[in-house]
Each structure stands twice: as C-alpha cells, then as structure tokens.
Amino acid sequence: MTTWANKKHLPLVVERRNVIRLAANNGCTLHLIEPLGFDFEEKKLRRAGLDYHDLSRVERYPDFNAFKQAMGERNIYAITTKGTRGYAEVQYQPGDVLLFGSETSGLAPDVMAQIAPEQRIRIPMMPNNRSLNLSNSVAIVSYEAWRQQGFTDGS
C-alpha cells in the first residue's frame, strides 16, 4: 500500500480532518513531519471532530532528514506545481511515498533539493488557476496509487 507524507502543516481543521479520513479510508500511513503548525494531541483532535484518528496509522518525525532516513530506499514522490510529469504517468509500487507540502507554500526549497527531478510530479490544472486544496490533492494522487495496486485490501 502506498504511504504518503504531509510536510509542514494542515492549515484548517477541515483539511486535517479530510487528510486523516483519507488515510484511514485508503489504508495509507500518514507521516507528519514537524513543524506541524497545529497541536496533534489526541484530546484536541477529538474536540475538533477528528474521529478517524483511531482508524488511521500516524507517524511523526522531528524533521525531513529523520523522515527520509526512516523511509530507507522507498521512492519518494514530491507533489508540486513544479513537477516534471503528471501523477498518472507514475507506476506506483507498494511502499512508495507521496510527499505533500503546506497548502499555502508547498514544499520547502531545501526539501525539494533532496527529491530527484523525475520524482517531482504534478496534478494537471488549467493555466493561471490557483492550486487545489491539500486534501483534494492528497485524494487524487493517493487514490491513483491505490488504484494501480488493485485497491488492495479495499472493499
């Protein structure tokens, strides 16, 4: 199953809820890389209505280097407007990582510098439009990766 990561922060409670729900529903592990920009305490998540937290697998890392080391030899695909190919052109393998940046600023330049150009992928959009919100982007790419795996373990 595809694993994906969200770098930096999920700016809105709705976005956090949607991303956690997506991870629970498609069997991904949600890897959160600090700084998060929000409090990830169980009590506060429940108060915000993030009831899918119990159904999802969540890992946290103090920084990108710790995350990258934990991922080992897995392919890490950075989803970015500066991608060199479309997300549907990738042949995803079990264990591949989908890396998303902050909704407002994307992935940090120091993180992008560590991702090979051929592993920077984009979601096609009409020209001159703003990017999709984070949870929509996560849904599009993670479900394509899962589809390519035959919706393993899905019903």
Binding residues for S-adenosyl-L-methionine: 79, 101, 123, 131
- What is the C-alpha to C-alpha distance for residues 135 and 116, in angstroms, rounded to an integer? 24
Encoded tokens for 140: 């599009």
Q: Binding site residues, as ranges? A: 79, 101, 123, 131
